[in-house]
Amino acid sequence: AQSVTQLGSHVSVSEGALVLLRCNYSSSVPPYLFWYVQYPNQGLQLLLKYTTGATLVKGINGFEAEFKKSETSFHLTKPSAHMSDAAEYFCAVSDRVQGAQKLVFGQGTRLTINP
Amino acid sequence: KAGVTQTPRYLIKTRGQQVTLSCSPISGHRSVSWYQQTPGQGLQFLFEYFSETQRNKGNFPGRFSGRQFSNSRSEMNVSTLELGDSALYLCASRGSSGELFFGEGSRLTVL
């Protein structure tokens, strides 16, 4: 079964600094990988996804992630943090079972931006 | 294109009662999934429906059930509510690449 580990339940960076949120996955098949963001009292919003092809994936709000098969990683980065990036971020891997599908989520990383 | 719509957004119930939550997926999406989110357990998969059939089920007791209608709208029901059922219940419909598009959730508080 697939699993996801997000390193660091809380990450704090200064405004304008690099954002790096770490995600490692375990999968017995080529994975589909996703990053979601959740703002308070809201649902999850898709930031970006990797399915096949280019391993560097660009998403919304200036975020990007790189799929590294050898490291089983899918870290999320943003060159310059903005106050509006403060939220909780979830990495997820797709788990396919007999045509059905579910996402297996990591425990989440809460990102705080310091002014 | 309208997103995933969940109703109600907030509700309060007492132990032993039952609750029904509703979800309307993005137009044209036929797969609907439900997830439970709690501070302690994080995001946990409840079940997935496709064309009115349950295709996958998570590790939850039988008190949790769901169904899907011919127009792809889905409902989930929790019977005999327990305090531990307090959570944000998220519905999602599936896009062509397997990504899930989530609604804003129904926040259930059990007293």
- Give the tens place of pLDDT for each residue, A54-84: 889 999 999 999 999 999 999 999 999 999 9
Contact between chains at B105 and A42 (C-beta distance less than 8 A):
yes
Say what the alpha-carbon torsion angle B108, B85, B29, B103 is, to the nearest 10 degrees: 40
Is pLDDT above 70 for A100?
Answer: no
Residue A115, token pair as written in the block: 């002014």
Compute CA distances B1 → A44, B5, B29, B93, B95, whole Å. 17, 12, 12, 13, 13
Q: What percent of chain A has pLDDT over 70?
A: 96
Closest-CA distance, B52 to chain A, in angstroms, reads: 13
In chain B, residues with a C-beta closer than 8 Å to the C-beta of A107 are 42
Q: Per the CB < 8 Å rule, is B4 touching A43?
A: yes
Neighbouring CB atoms inside 10 A of B15's CB total 11
Does the beta-carbon distance from A102 to B99 stay under 8 Å?
A: no
**Average pLDDT value over all residues in chain A:** 92
pLDDT confidence band for A97 (50 / 70 / 90): low
Beta carbons of A32 and B56 less than 8 Å apart: no
- Verify whether the Cβ–Cβ distance B94 to A49 is below 8 Å: no
Q: Which residues does chain A have within 8 Å of residue B58's beta carbon, measured at their own beta carbons? A: 102
